[in-house]
Amino acid sequence: MTQNISYSGPKIALYQPDIPQNTAAIVRTCSCLGIGLEIIEPCGFFLTDPRFKRIVMDYMDISSIKFYKSYESFKKAKINKRVVLATTKAKEIYTNFKFSRDDTLLFGRESSGVPESLHKSIKYKIKIPMIENKRSLNLATSVAIITSESLRQILY
């Protein structure tokens, strides 16, 4: 169902994404939900990659994506802003977390998450509960689940 509205909700940040199809699906999700997307480089692929282009279709407006050359430049831009890391290592379940309109929801690389030093430096961490002995959900799926809950809390 489409509506003629735009949201000013939390932003999604991807830490060095390495699977073009997942990033393209996240671009589409952000575009359709009116959510800002930030990418912390380097990416593990080029935006001209055919696998990326096939999934992103005409949903990508490159000017609406903010790129950071490094995690350090991202961190400087987020001084006095809340960054929330989605990680399987978190204790707090995402539905118990109180989201804010100004949050940046940070998701790690598909292949390795975020470095341990970065993990330790972030105060707010949330997880999606899963059954035992499962490693992780697909990144695009995790972004959609957590973003939906943040918008539900903020908008409704």
pLDDT by residue for the chain (156 residues), tens only, comes to 444 445 567 999 999 998 888 888 898 888 888 889 999 998 865 566 565 555 555 656 555 788 899 999 999 999 999 999 999 999 999 999 999 999 999 999 988 889 999 999 999 999 999 998 888 899 999 999 999 999 999 987
Range list of H helices, 1-156: 20-33, 50-56, 71-77, 116-121, 139-155
Q: What are phi and psi of 92, to 5 degrees?
A: -85, 130
pLDDT of residue 3: 45
Architecture of the domain made up of 11-155? 3-Layer(aba) Sandwich (3.40)
The pLDDT of residue 61 is 58
Q: What is the pLDDT of residue 47?
A: 65
- Cα–Cα distance list, 14 to 2, 41, 119 (Å): 26, 9, 14
4, 44, 58, 117, 138 from 111: Cα distances, Å: 37, 10, 27, 17, 11
pLDDT score recorded for residue 156: 78
Whole-number pLDDT of residue 142: 96
**Quick one: tokens of 57?**
């279709």
Q: Which sequence spans correspond to the domains of the chain?
A: 11-155
